[in-house]
Amino acid sequence: MKLPDTSPSTPSLHYPPLREWQQRCVDKAMQQLSPTRPHFLCQATPGAGKMLMSAVLAGLLLERGDVDFVLYLGPSRDVVSRAEQTLSEVTGLAMDGQLGARGGCYTYQSLRSRLQTLQQLGRQFRVLLIWDESHHAGRLPGTQKGANEWGQALLLLERNMALTLALSGTPWRTDGSCLPLLRYLDLPQGTQESESGEAALQQRLVPDFVYTLQQAVRDGVCRLPLIQLVDNRRISLTVTDPRSRKPKKQKQFTSIPRLLRGARVGYGDLLRHEAPMAYVLERGIARLSELRRIQPAAGGLVVASDIEHAEDIAEWLGDRGEDACLVTSQTPHAHSRLQAFRESAQAWVVSVGMISEGVDIPRLRVCCYLSHVRTEQHFRQVLGRIIRRMGEQDPDCHLVVINEPILRRYAHRIADDLPEEKAVVSVVPTEADGRGSSSSSSTGEQEAAEEPGEARDSVPDTAGVAFGSAASASTTAARWEQDMAFSRRFIAHIATLKL
């Protein structure tokens, strides 16, 4: 039987046109995937269009007769639903796992209950496994052992899969473990030792295809992210200990980093104070209002720390006349509400983790990051929700973050990944009148089951934080450039930036 020609010069007519990077990735995968090399990892920046590429690749493998069925695994119901829709539309085949379908799409959480059925399918037929957001599965370095729950199920399933395609924009794990099924390069052992006294094993992931944020911005595939770090030079902290009769203690700080270093207030507590939360949200509101004058359907995302925090933020936005949609794991019909927001022109959506990765809402262009999670993977995944371009009229997007040292470091790393002439990270000194919140408490909040978490700092006393009015913009900006020791290439001239 003659196999169909899959070269770029003769693409299948019924497939949608691909971007240049997508076509190159499909070509390489079609050449490489075989019984002797059954695994392929595509590392492409969030928002670049990995799912469309995967659907076209799956269709070509089905056409060529390399596989009989397609199995997709993803991290959430919304992501899985969108993947099923894309696979079905691109291949023209049912992918709902029902009788007569050529594939099925499931969450990682449901894999255990379906494992035996899917293993039996793999033993009887040749199956392509697409595992999206592959960083959710983990194993110990240097072995396929020590895998987490999703990694264990994946390893058991993979034994019966003909080919696998791994997708991720952030293919690493914050716990230091490796991803199963993928190739790692052994690095020269350093001086670090493990608990057993042996030299620690160091490995580097070897993707089969890489498409970076820098490439995506230059190609016009992704929007240029403009990251704004909100800070204040006149912070007043008032601490009251309810266990004693001592008078209130008041201290002054000239920046948020100095407040976090020198006070008993942690970053997680700071998020719940009215002043810093309001400054971040007001900055996001102002930016979104400007964008909606040109693009009326442009939307904004607020990432909260937990469900109670998300509810407070949604109420705060509503009190100020902002049209906000609240979507958490406890919201009735949450996925229907998310779909309705995707198709509407509503201004804001507030969530915790349901829109942190894999969720495709291209009209989102502003994000206010008020999550207590401080991992680079989560930070980049959230940024990925606002960088997907829709056309020629949306060249940039805006991420507004509190100027916390760890998050500032992540922002600079993202700038390092951008074309040098476009790298923009700016500190935004607040200039409104002083305001404050009476108290905050970070204990006892409930977190959503689907949402990533990190232990918050605790503050035993009742603390009030007030932000004062800033000096003139030029004076404050100059001071910040000196105080924060920012590299010259990060100093923003947004008004004159040529995109």
CATH code assigned at 73:
3.40.50.300
Q: For strand 462-467 and strand 435-436, is the pairing parallel, antiparallel, or unpaired?
A: antiparallel
Q: Which position has the token pair 């059954």?
A: 38
Residues 346 and 258 in one domain: yes
Q: Is residue 148 part of a domain?
A: yes
Report the distance separating Cα 111 and Cα 440, nearest Å: 40
Residues 145 and 251 in one domain: no
Q: What string of pLDDT tens digits covers the 499 residues of the chain?
A: 343 444 443 344 478 899 999 999 999 999 999 999 999 999 999 889 999 999 999 999 999 999 999 999 998 888 899 999 999 999 999 999 999 999 999 998 898 899 999 999 999 999 999 988 765 554 444 444 444 566 677 778 888 999 999 998 765 544 445 555 555 455 555 544 444 444 455 555 678 999 999 999 999 999 999 999 999 888 888 877 666 666 677 888 889 999 898 767 789 988 988 888 999 999 999 999 999 999 999 999 999 999 999 999 999 999 999 999 999 988 888 889 999 999 999 999 999 988 876 688 999 999 999 999 998 888 988 999 999 998 878 899 999 999 999 999 999 988 888 876 666 677 777 644 444 333 333 322 332 333 333 333 344 445 566 776 543 333 233 333 333 333 334 334 333 444 3
Residues 206 and 320 in one domain: no
Residues sharing a CB contact under 8 Å with residue 283, sequence separation 6 or more, in sequence order: 228, 230, 368, 400, 428
Instruction: Tell me the chain's radius of gyration from C-alpha atoms.
Output: 24
Q: What is the pLDDT of residue 10?
A: 38
Residues 250 and 175 in one domain: no
Classified as helix, coil or strand, 379 is helix
Q: Is residue 68 part of a domain?
A: yes
Residues 421 and 365 in one domain: yes
Q: Cα separations (Å) of 388 from 77, 366, 473?
A: 21, 12, 32
Number of domains the chain is built from: 2
Residues 406 and 484 in one domain: yes
Q: Which position has the token pair 């993979």?
A: 158
Q: Which of 34, 44, 46, 49 is nearest to 128 (CA)?
A: 34
Residues 126 and 233 in one domain: no
Residues sharing a CB contact under 8 Å with residue 415, sequence separation 6 or more, in sequence order: 227, 423, 424, 425, 489, 490
Q: What is the pLDDT of residue 480?
A: 36
Q: Cα separations (Å) of 301 from 66, 473, 475?
A: 41, 27, 31
DSSP state of 74: E
Q: Which position has the token pair 């947004």?
A: 494
Report the distance separating Cα 410 and Cα 373, nearest Å: 12
Side chain identity at 420, as an amino acid letter?
E
Q: Cα separations (Å) of 182 from 14, 158, 176, 300, 497?
A: 32, 12, 15, 36, 40
Task: Return the ∠ at Cα 106 (arms to 100 and 107), rounded to 5°.
Answer: 175
Report the distance separating Cα 217 and Cα 206, nearest Å: 23
Q: What is the pLDDT of residue 44?
A: 92
Q: Is residue 6 part of a domain?
A: no
Residues 152 and 34 in one domain: yes
DSSP-assigned states of every residue in 62-126: HHHTS-SEEEEEESSHHHHHHHHHHHHHHHSS--SSSTT-SEEEEESTTHHHHHHHHHHHHHHS-
Residues sharing a CB contact under 8 Å with residue 31, sequence separation 6 or more, in sequence order: none
Q: Is residue 412 part of a domain?
A: yes
Crossing angle between the packed helical segments 376-383 and 405-416, to the nearest 10 degrees: 60
Q: For strand 224-231 and strand 425-429, is the pairing parallel, antiparallel, or unpaired?
A: parallel
Side chain identity at 133, as an amino acid letter?
E
Q: Is residue 354 part of a domain?
A: yes
- Pair 325, 347: CB distance under 8 Å: no
- Pair 198, 436: CB distance under 8 Å: no
Q: What is the domain range of residue 80?
A: 20-185+201-211
Structure tokens, 391: 């056309």
DSSP state of 193: B
Report the distance separating Cα 350 and Cα 334, nearest Å: 12
Q: Is residue 4 part of a domain?
A: no
Structure tokens, 111: 């894999």
Residue finishing a domain among 193, 211, 229: 211
DSSP state of 472: -
Residues 240 and 205 in one domain: no
- Pair 74, 105: CB distance under 8 Å: yes
Residues 100 and 174 in one domain: yes
Residues 158 and 265 in one domain: no
Q: Is residue 2 part of a domain?
A: no
- Pair 402, 271: CB distance under 8 Å: yes
Q: What is the pLDDT of residue 420?
A: 65
DSSP-assigned states of every residue in 301-359: EEE-SSHHHHHHHHHHHHHTT--EEE--TTSTTHHHHHHHHHHS--SEEEESSTTSSS-
- Pair 52, 90: CB distance under 8 Å: yes
Classified as helix, coil or strand, 64 is helix
Report the distance separating Cα 125 and Cα 122, nearest Å: 5
Report the distance separating Cα 88 and Cα 73, nearest Å: 15
Q: What is the dihedral of CA 90, 91, 96, 98, to 10 degrees?
A: 160
Q: How far is CA 126 from the centre of its chain?
A: 33
Q: Is residue 234 part of a domain?
A: yes
Residues 206 and 240 in one domain: no
